[in-house]
Structure 1
Amino acid sequence: MSITEQQIIDLEDEINEILQEDAAKIHFSFHAAYERLNDERNKPPITLSELEDVFKLFIHVHLQAVLGFDEGTTFTIKCNKSALHFPCAIEHEREYGKIWVIQNVVTAMRKEGFKSKDPIILEVN
């Protein structure tokens, strides 16, 4: 079953609520959310529960490291269990008088043996 636009919006909102106290946000690019999450090349299809699990574990394990990344830093979130990969880029934004760290999810894919060009790979399991 495909992940709907509303489910992506709700997931972003849920994750951003968790990240708010750390002045951080996550944003799925149009390409990631609407062109790649439901792409037929993802076998089996990516599920909403997988996304929730990967990003909540990512926050638990890697948030402090990501908060220290400079603007423009690129990295890939890699889930060994599900073969999911999420290339990301950091952007800084001033909001409410402080700098917020925005994690832009550039794309998403399920691919065994994916080789990222990013020098930083953050594994979640």
Structure 2
Amino acid sequence: MTISQQDVIALESRINSKLTGYNAEFIMTIHFSVDRLNDARNTPPITIPELENIFDRLINQHILAIVALNDKDTFNIRCTSSHINMPCGVRKETNNNGSISHKNIIITVMRKRNFFSKDPIEFKV
């Protein structure tokens, strides 16, 4: 079943609602949601419940390490059971009130067992 842009927006909202106490959010790029999420090379197709499960485990296991990353750092999220990989980049911004917002830009997504990440930082779930 094809994942719609509305599905992605709803997923992003659910994930980010769990991160409000960390001043953090995940942003899914157009390349992630349009070009790669429904790509036929993802066999079996990636599902929303599968992605939500990955992000729940990521938040539970690694959120403190993720928010400790620096601006312009890159990292990979790797699910060891589904073989889904999501390369990401960090953008930190100072808000009007002086607090720092931590934005994790999810660049792409793929289901690939032998994915090689050039990023030295990898969060496995």
Superposition TM-score tier, normalisation by shorter sequence: over 0.9
Secondary structure of 2:90's partner? Answer: strand
Residue 99 of structure 1 aligns with which residue? 100
Offset from partner CA, 1:36-79 (integer Å, 9 cap, x none): 00001100000000000001110111100011100011010000
Deviation per residue, 1:69-108 (Å, 9 max, x gap): 0001101000010000000000012235211100100000
Give the letter for the 1:68 counterpart. A
CA RMSD after TM alignment? 0.8
How many pairs does the alignment contain?
Answer: 124
> Which residue in 1 is equivalent to 2:53?
53
- Structure 1 residue 24 and structure 2 residue 24: aligned? yes
Partner of 1:118: 119
1:9 match: 9
2:34 aligned with 1:38: no
What is the distance in 2 between the residues matched to 1:28 and 1:96?
Answer: 24
Identify the residue that residue 67 of structure 1 maps to in structure 2: 67
Q: Which runs of 5+ in 1 are unaligned?
A: none
Structure 1 stretches of at least 4 aligned residues deviating more than 4 Å after TM superposition: none
**In 2: Cα distance, 1:95 partner to 1:34 partner:** 29
- Once residues 74 and 85 of structure 2 are traced to their aligned partners in structure 1, the CA distance between those partners, rounded to angstroms, is 13
Aligned partner of 1:108 in structure 2 is 109
Q: CA deviation at 1:118?
A: 0.5
SS for the counterpart of 2:94 is: strand
Counterparts of 2:26 and 2:96, CA distance in 1: 17
**Residue 21 of structure 1: how far off its partner (Å):** 1.1
Between the two proteins, what is the percent identity of the paired residues?
39
